[in-house]
Structure 1
Amino acid sequence: MVNPEQLLQTLQAEFEKHSYGENPAELYEPISYIMSLHGKRFRPLLTLLSASIYSENISAALKPAMAVEVFHNFTLMHDDIMDRAPLRRGKPTVHEKWNANTAILSGDVMLIRAYDLLLDIPKEKLRLVLERFNQTAAEVCEGQQLDMNFETRWNVTEGEYLEMIRLKTSVLLGFALELGGIIGGADEESVKLLYAAGENMGIGFQLKDDLLDVYGDPSKFGKQVGGDIIANKKTFLLIEALSKADEATKSELEKWISEPVFDAEEKINAVKAIYESLSIRSLTEQKISDYFGKGLENLRNLNIENSRKEPLLQFAQQLVEREK
């Protein structure tokens, strides 16, 4: 049985020795920098775990799995510019450490290098992988644009928000799993189930992120709890609260949203109290459970012996239970 921790170590070793280019240094150093910040690396791990269900030759999926992570970090580099974010994983963002122009150009090269990492895929599978990768990449951009559109809207519906996070976050998890299946030799129906599993779990993952931002343990979450409340970010929790509040409660919530000067702790506590009065936490937890439940069911429906899919199922369960 494959060991996810060992796979993660193998991935890390490959990333550490991988070269994205050298000259000019100003172009390539930012790439090495953002990739050195690591992150959770669970997307490429999903690719390797998926491939391991159908093949003993996991090494064939190693570079394609890295492509998923390089693409993910490319999107983060550009997202940080658009969000004017000063920090990424507790360190200065690329556009802060260098400048926006450098971050744009280095990000562009990362996308190209992601394609390079897909080139070892056998010819008979390469066209399908590239078609699916291109579709995924376009959808991630669509999700980012919707997210930016929502910044100026206060009538975003639950359905619109779920579609936005499906595009921005979960389609890449779906691709990570289907990529492993394609490389490992899964049949077409299994590849579809793997994609659906990633898509459903990806939505659950983002909803869990929304929840942890409000209710997470500060010592485990890794960033400021309540940051979304301070920034008036349109998360699932805020959208549901605005939708379900009566006039008086909605007026109070809107007061905090529109207040230009405020005490951060006071605002966080006041908005959390509104969430509690509307049972927003339990509603969000139920929605998270629904999506992760669908994803796990997709994996259980794979037509292969349970022992082969057990490592992936166990890792998926860890995503459900994460506290950071």
Structure 2
Amino acid sequence: MSSAIFFKAIEQEIARTQYGESPVELYEPIAYLMSLGGKRMRPAICLMAASIFSDDWQKATKPALGVEVFHNFTLMHDDIMDAAPLRRGQPTVHEKWNSSVAILSGDVMLVCAYELMTAVKDNIFKKVIRRFNRTAAEVCEGQQLDMNFASRNDVSEEEYINMIRLKTSVLLGFALELGGMIAETSEANTQLLYEIGTNIGIGFQLKDDILDVYGDPEKFGKQVGGDIIENKKTFLLIEALAQAKGKPEEKELAQWLSAQSFDKAEKVKAVTNIYDTLGIKQMAESKMNEFFSKGLNDLERLEAPAERKKPLLDIIYMLIEREN
């Protein structure tokens, strides 16, 4: 079975889903944000997980969409916090309407996510909601940690990996776990699905960190070096700060991090050169591959025929090889 089938099923569900009608200002921003596209990876892998253990994987479609609605709810509120003008090349909700509308619309978007999540059988309902609650809280914990890191220069690799696990990867883990729960596979398989998603999610974010510095601008789809310009605590910067101690690069890196006025292109080039000198890209790729390998190993251990696992395997390799 092709992975495209699952992405198509999600797009069809998005097209026919109504979130509410009145007041228009409350519900229109939800439809607007959901119409802007995105990878739809989280709901698609939920369906893939269900299909590994059940021929009736379509029963996971509404809960899978609930995962995507929740993800977009977090983006709507993240954009307010970041004062971001654009999302996927279009005006963010708070720019198109205003911040108050975006906050309230985001609130009801979370309610819509829960409503979609209730479309599961009664015998797994409580477990699904408990796991969704925990995951949602962890995503918020990760976002708070990310904001805390902005004012720190002593963030450790361990702290950073934990932050991206919470902010990014636990939702991928839950998406796969949810598919397994809906298909009513064993507890062992469900736990493996969660581990696959969590490890792949960490690898995915580390890949993002690398692409932000070393990606092809035409393929990456956003400004290369944006993290450097913002002094964002990524794996690369954290490792550079650690590796530069006692070396000439320590002072130069500190100067760029403290500079209030600078030429953006010059800063990106200088910091990238420091990364190159210290071998930071190779360290990041090694760490990324470590987590991707964990995910692939867990997928191998999953008790299911290889052909059933192939769509998910294809997606994992797509994430490993992606250039944007």
TM-score (norm 2): 0.98
Deviations 1:62-99 (A, max 9, x none): 00110000000000111111111111111111111111
Deviations 1:268-296 (A, max 9, x none): 11000000000000000011100000011
d(CA) in 2 for partners of 1:287, 1:256: 25
d(CA) in 2 for partners of 1:77, 1:184: 31
User: What does residue 33 of structure 2 align with?
Assistant: 34
d(CA) in 1 for partners of 2:119, 2:80: 32
User: What does residue 312 of structure 1 align with?
Assistant: 312
Q: In the alignment, residue 303 of structure 2 is paired with which amino acid?
A: N
Deviations 1:194-250 (A, max 9, x none): 000101011000010000000011111111111111111111100000011034211
Correspondence 1:115-130 to 2 at 5 A: 115-130=114-129
d(CA) in 1 for partners of 2:119, 2:32: 25
User: What does residue 149 of structure 2 align with?
Assistant: 150
Q: In the alignment, residue 239 of structure 1 is paired with which amino acid?
A: I
Deviations 1:28-76 (A, max 9, x none): 1111111111110000011000000000111100001100000000001
Q: Secondary structure at the match of 1:19?
A: coil
Q: In the alignment, residue 216 of structure 2 is paired with which amino acid?
A: D
User: What does residue 75 of structure 2 align with?
Assistant: 76
d(CA) in 1 for partners of 2:245, 2:76: 40
d(CA) in 1 for partners of 2:190, 2:236: 33
User: What does residue 260 of structure 1 align with?
Assistant: 260
Q: In the alignment, residue 191 of structure 1 is paired with which amino acid?
A: T
d(CA) in 1 for partners of 2:307, 2:8: 22
Q: How far off its partner does 1:16 sit?
A: 1.3
d(CA) in 1 for partners of 2:168, 2:97: 27
d(CA) in 1 for partners of 2:116, 2:265: 45
Correspondence 1:13-162 to 2 at 5 A: 13-162=12-161
Deviations 1:115-148 (A, max 9, x none): 1101220000111100100000010011111111
Correspondence 1:184-223 to 2 at 5 A: 184-223=183-222
Deviations 1:172-193 (A, max 9, x none): 0000000001111210000000
Q: Secondary structure at the match of 2:212?
A: helix
Give 5+ residue unaligned stretches, structure 1: none
User: What does residue 250 of structure 2 align with?
Assistant: 250
d(CA) in 1 for partners of 2:305, 2:35: 37
1:5 aligns with 2:33: no
Q: In the alignment, residue 320 of structure 1 is paired with which amino acid?
A: I
TM-score (norm 1): 0.98
Correspondence 1:169-184 to 2 at 5 A: 169-184=168-183
Structure 1 segments (4+ residues) deviating >3 Å: none
Q: Secondary structure at the match of 2:303?
A: coil
d(CA) in 1 for partners of 2:233, 2:245: 19
Backbone CA RMSD of aligned residues:
0.8
Q: How far off its partner does 1:254 sit?
A: 1.2
User: What does residue 280 of structure 2 align with?
Assistant: 280
> Percent of pairs identical after alignment?
59
Is 240-249 or 131-140 further displaced after alignment? 240-249
Q: Secondary structure at the match of 1:139?
A: helix
Give 5+ residue unaligned stretches, structure 2: none
d(CA) in 2 for partners of 1:220, 1:20: 33
Q: Secondary structure at the match of 2:21?
A: coil
Q: In the alignment, residue 291 of structure 1 is paired with which amino acid?
A: F
Q: In the alignment, residue 21 of structure 2 is paired with which amino acid?
A: E
d(CA) in 1 for partners of 2:185, 2:307: 16
Q: How far off its partner does 1:6 sit?
A: 2.0
Q: In the alignment, residue 204 of structure 1 is paired with which amino acid?
A: G
Is 209-218 or 82-91 further displaced after alignment? 82-91
d(CA) in 2 for partners of 1:229, 1:85: 17
Q: In the alignment, residue 312 of structure 1 is paired with which amino acid?
A: L
